[in-house]
Amino acid sequence: MVQFIANQKMHSTPLELEHRPLISDMTSQTITSITYHFSKYHGLGNDFILIDNRDREEPYLSTEDAIKFCDRHFGIGADGVIFLLSAGLDVGSDTYRMRIFNSDGSEPEMCGNGIRCLAKFMQDLGISGGISPQAGDRYSITTNAGLMGVQLNPDGEITVDMGEPRLLAQEIPTTLVNPDQKVIDVPLEVNGQVWNVTTVSMGNPHCITFVENVDSISLAELGIKFEHHPVFPQRTNTEFIEVVSSSYMKMRVWERGAGATLACGTGACASVVAGVLNGKCDRLCTVNLPGGDLKIHWDLETNHVLMTGTADKVFSGIIKTGIIQC
Ligand code: ZDP
């Protein structure tokens, strides 16, 4: 049983428990309803339920709950759930950690649009990460793909240091070539057609293929076939890229564990890396997605990928779930 009650007040603890006897003619049962406080944010239409989870080491939600909450008809509706956790040993210290569940309940290592939403959520919660007000807040956030630096710029955009791309087959992971080799412009048969693919990990796996016209791609039909292709033991995100110029590309994405989404930050980073490796784009490139544009810079000196884009709050609310206990 799910109940929505919109309210604007941002809650510090996301949880209230309520026990109510449910008298039925056969047996006495009690119903325990759990009320979660959440906020909804999106990065270019890639949308997430944000939960302030700093007072616990483990995520408040089970993966089953995450699937229910992400359902666009029976739940809140989102591409995933993101938990703000304390990274420090003692819960509550001022180092932070991000964990995310995809809408299918799986837990990816990293998410680009999501970490921008998390940084905005932290700023809205009044968590200061400031070096100086004019420079804007700066947070260091631990993820399952390593420590990420996130800068909230005075112009309202957010820049994330996404770290170094990983290119060896064993790092993606993929079995398309030997573990210590890279997959750059390698043929792969999917859906009875041969596609030339390049694979890149931004902590999570990406398979990129360049096409003439992205709008001619039947994403739902093809995306799921790439996602579950046997050469990707942990599945993969798949990006279809149309290079418009050396500094501008159009991207359509089928996400592992979330399907077709309006934007994917790690995917945009991986696509520019693949574009450079295939001599198709510059190291500074704008990636156009259905939900908007991301600016990507693969820095030659540090080998780090920097991603810049927006993150916006949509609403806050509470959601109630009920468990019948006999
Ligand atoms: O790797 C995966 O399973 C992705 N679905 C994770 C989510 C990625 C995200 N869309 C991003 O922006 O990188 C949040």
Report the residue among 144, 160, 264 best suited for mutation to probe ligand 1: largest number of ligand atoms under 8 A from its CB: 264
Question: What was the pLDDT predicted at 28?
Answer: 60
Question: What was the pLDDT predicted at 34?
Answer: 78
Q: Is the CB of 143 under 6 A from ligand 1?
A: no
Is 285 among the residues known to form the active site? Answer: no
Question: What was the pLDDT predicted at 35?
Answer: 83
Is 281 among the residues known to form the active site? Answer: no
Residue with tokens 């932290």: 122
Task: Give the pLDDT mean for 71-80.
Answer: 96
Find the 61 Cα to ligand 1 centroid distance in Å. 19
d(CA 20, CA 155): 49
d(CA 289, CA 204): 19
Catalytic residue of the set 264, 269, 281, 285: 264
Question: What was the pLDDT predicted at 231?
Answer: 98
Does the pLDDT of residue 32 top 70, yes or no? no
Question: What was the pLDDT predicted at 8?
Answer: 45
Find the 108 Cα to ligand 1 centroid distance in Å. 7
The HSE-up count of residue 57 (CA atoms within 13 Å, CB side) is 4
Question: Cα dist. 230→14, 226, 234 in Å?
Answer: 40, 9, 9
Report the residue among 204, 234, 251, 287 best suited for mutation to probe ligand 1: largest number of ligand atoms under 8 A from its CB: 204
Q: At 5, is the pLDDT very low, low, confident or very high (cuts 50, 70, 90)? A: very low
Does the pLDDT of residue 202 top 50, yes or no? yes
- Single-letter amino acid code for the residue at 314: V
Question: What was the pLDDT predicted at 10?
Answer: 46
Beta strands at 259-261 and 284-289: parallel, antiparallel or unpaired: unpaired
Digit-coded pLDDT (tens) for 239-266? 999 999 999 999 999 999 999 999 999 9
Q: Is the CB of 102 under 6 A from ligand 1?
A: yes
Length reported for the chain: 326
Find the 100 Cα to ligand 1 centroid distance in Å. 9
Find the 178 Cα to ligand 1 centroid distance in Å. 26
Least confident of 74-78, 136-140, 151-155, 185-189: 136-140
Task: Give the pLDDT mean for 187-216.
Answer: 98
Digit-coded pLDDT (tens) for 107-132? 999 999 999 999 999 999 999 876 55
Least confident of 15-19, 182-186, 248-252, 315-319: 15-19
